[in-house]
Amino acid sequence: MQMKKEPRVEAEDPLSSRKDEMSASDSILAPLIVGQSPVIFLATFVLTIVILYFGQSVLIPFAFSLLLTFLLSPIVKALERLRVGKIPSVILVVFLAFSFLGVIGWIVTVQLTTLVSELPQYQQNIRQKAVDLRNIGKGGSIEQVQKTVDEIKGEIEKGDETANLQKHAREVVVQSEQSSTFWPVPVIAGPLVERLASAGLAIILVIMMLIERDDLRDRLIRLIGYGRIAVTTKALEDAGGRISRYLLMHSIINSGYGIAVGIGLFLIGLPYAALWGFLAAVLRFIPYIGPWVSAIMPSALALAAFEGWVWPLAVAGLFIGLELLTNMILEPLLYGDSAGVSQVALLVSVAFWTWLWGPVGLLMATPLTVCLVVLGKYVPQMEFVAVLMSDEPVAEKNIIYYQRLLAMDRAEAAQIIEVYVEVNPLDKVYDEIMVPALNFARLDRERDGLTEAQEQFILSETRAIVESQSQRHTSTPASDGSGNDHEENAAGRANVRILGCPARDEFDEVALLMFQQLLASTRYEIEVSGDEKLASEVVVVAGEKQAGMVLIAAVQPGGLAHTRYLCKRLRAQFSDLKIVVGLWGLRAELEATRKSLLSAGADEVGTSLVESRDQVSNLGQLISESHTVLDGPSRSLE
């Protein structure tokens, strides 16, 4: 009579709750989406940008004052510890800070004005270099381009007279126009008054924030709630520490860069070398484009001031060499990743804040982004900001590896394993990357989230990777953890025969192939049976092979019911057989599951390949001592 295949019931599987582990509740965006529609979230985001754009006259001084408060607070606290007093300390520090900024701004303005007045004396050098460039391009494509430019220039000059007349007409009207505000301020003075007002607001805000910093901190803690006081305190300290560390390290690097530029230009003989060094230090606070912008004016002045091309090229080479030295040596050593923002996110942030607030946003982009990253780290509703912008890894290797398998990217999946195996032992590679990938695949298959093609690719690619590691494993045999492999071989003891049985399907069989490589081949001989065998067939094979041990592999989640049934059948047939169950990847209800399987007849239950290997090693020693080896007595089937 033909036997029917036994049903694989999962009625008492304690891992059924794991099917919800990768649900939408695990999404970073879930706190934003739950309870509100995506339309509301999008409208809120757009409204925030609109407020930032149209409220920049108030928000820019506030943001600038907040950053200065973070920077100046340590100095104010140091003066307070010297018993100077809170208000005198704040006023002194703010006065010195803004006086320094004002003096520097005045010196730079004077130097630039003097430079502009001295430019006419460099006309001869400029003409000579123009002649040199014209001679280089004569008779070629450059000459054709020059002719086209001259023609366009002539057409533009033809319309200059009409434009000048319109300009004079407009000037007559503008001279009589005044602001419509309460005070009759001329329109032409509006931008200047606005800048002065913003500067005054920033000074007042810095003073008040430094004086009332303790009260503002307490109010912020009360606003967030006393239940989150520990998180709020840590967030404030982290934000202040990161921004202060970023500004300090960046200031040290940029100051050294500016000093090196000034000394180099002085040795070359370029006029106003100290000015260019200062501008180089300041502009380098602007990410990526600042150093190259600071090189434009000195290079242009070198072309005008020096005869020939040697020294202008030396100026350009100085900037290029110092920038490469700073980026490749100084920043990795002194600065590293102290900002905590990824490079791509920083580029996007620079573009966003520049579009929103102009040059001021360009200068404050990195500190503002750091504040957002810290806020996203401690505020659950803004965790997506930290995920998108932080430079910390957000996905584990096993998830990245599984995602590459889902995308059927054979090359990158294999590369992840090859890189990981270079610095980690094989058992760690299997337990931390490849077995978890099988767990994810089985979970997706049970939820119908895995296509047939994806499933077959995952299984075949996993087999190929395991086989590729076989040669490495053969050349360096794995230890079973007992440390007695060499001694037992010397004693001439035979191998312990193990029958590996997949609990359900090919996932379990592939995991058994990994386990097979982790066993010391000098002590154990493991034979993996196919996943298509019934429980009764497994019992028959165990008797025919005279196995001293049976290892049942069940890649999680699921498979508990069938594993228990197989344990009962084997224990009922062979009372002296050692049975090891590998529930690889088990996370939930570990103790209850272990007791259930032990009561069904299992000797050991392991949740990882390494744990199962140690259990096999311990039981293997007992088998060797009781002489249950290859030539042992055969079992009879009832």
Residue 228 lies inside a defined structural domain of this protein:
no
- Which of 365, 389, 413 is where one domain is finished? 389
Q: What would the mean pLDDT of 112-134 be, rounded to a whole number? A: 70
Same domain, residue pair 255 and 374 = yes
390 or 426, higher pLDDT:
426
- Which of 443, 476, 509 is where one domain is finished? 476
What pLDDT, on the 0 to 100 scale, is given for residue 152?
62
How far is Cα 546 from Cα 579, in angstroms, rounded to an integer?
14
630 or 140, higher pLDDT:
140
Same domain, residue pair 363 and 412 = no
Q: Which domain holds residue 251?
A: 235-389
Same domain, residue pair 304 and 440 = no
What pLDDT, on the 0 to 100 scale, is given for residue 72?
81
What pLDDT, on the 0 to 100 scale, is given for residue 214?
77
pLDDT tens, residue by residue, 572-601: 998 888 999 999 988 778 888 889 999 998
Q: What would the mean pLDDT of 435-459 be, rounded to a whole number? A: 90
Same domain, residue pair 607 and 532 = yes
Same domain, residue pair 515 and 429 = no
Q: Kindly report the three-state secondary structure assignment for every residue of 255-312.
A: HHHHHHHHHHHHHHCCCCHHHHHHHHHHHCCCCCCHHHHHCHHHHHHHHHHCCCCHHH
Residue 268 lies inside a defined structural domain of this protein:
yes
| C-alpha dist (Å) from residue 283 to 65, 260, 293 | 20, 14, 7
What pLDDT, on the 0 to 100 scale, is given for residue 346?
79
307 or 580, higher pLDDT:
580
CATH classification at residue 572: 3.40.50.280
pLDDT tens, residue by residue, 396-411: 888 899 999 998 988 9
Residue 198 lies inside a defined structural domain of this protein:
no
Residue 286 lies inside a defined structural domain of this protein:
yes
Same domain, residue pair 634 and 495 = yes
Percent of the chain with pLDDT over 70: 72
Residue 127 lies inside a defined structural domain of this protein:
no
Q: What kind and span of H or E run contains 604? A: strand 604-606
Same domain, residue pair 509 and 438 = no
Same domain, residue pair 516 and 534 = yes
> Over 50: is that where the pLDDT of 18 sits?
no
What pLDDT, on the 0 to 100 scale, is given for residue 146?
60
The residue count for the chain = 638
Same domain, residue pair 404 and 372 = no
Q: What would the mean pLDDT of 256-262 be, rounded to a whole number? A: 88
Poorest-pLDDT segment among 56-70, 489-503, 606-620: 489-503
- Which of 441, 476, 511 is where one domain is finished? 476
The pair of three-digit structure tokens given for residue 206, joined into one six-digit string = 């810095």
pLDDT band for position 227 (50/70/90)?
low
CATH classification at residue 422: 1.10.1240.10
**How many domains would you assign to the chain?**
3
Residue 349 lies inside a defined structural domain of this protein:
yes
pTM, 2 dp = 0.62
The pair of three-digit structure tokens given for residue 35, joined into one six-digit string = 């309870």
pLDDT tens, residue by residue, 515-528: 988 886 657 888 88
> Over 50: is that where the pLDDT of 633 sits?
no
Residue 611 lies inside a defined structural domain of this protein:
yes
Same domain, residue pair 617 and 546 = yes
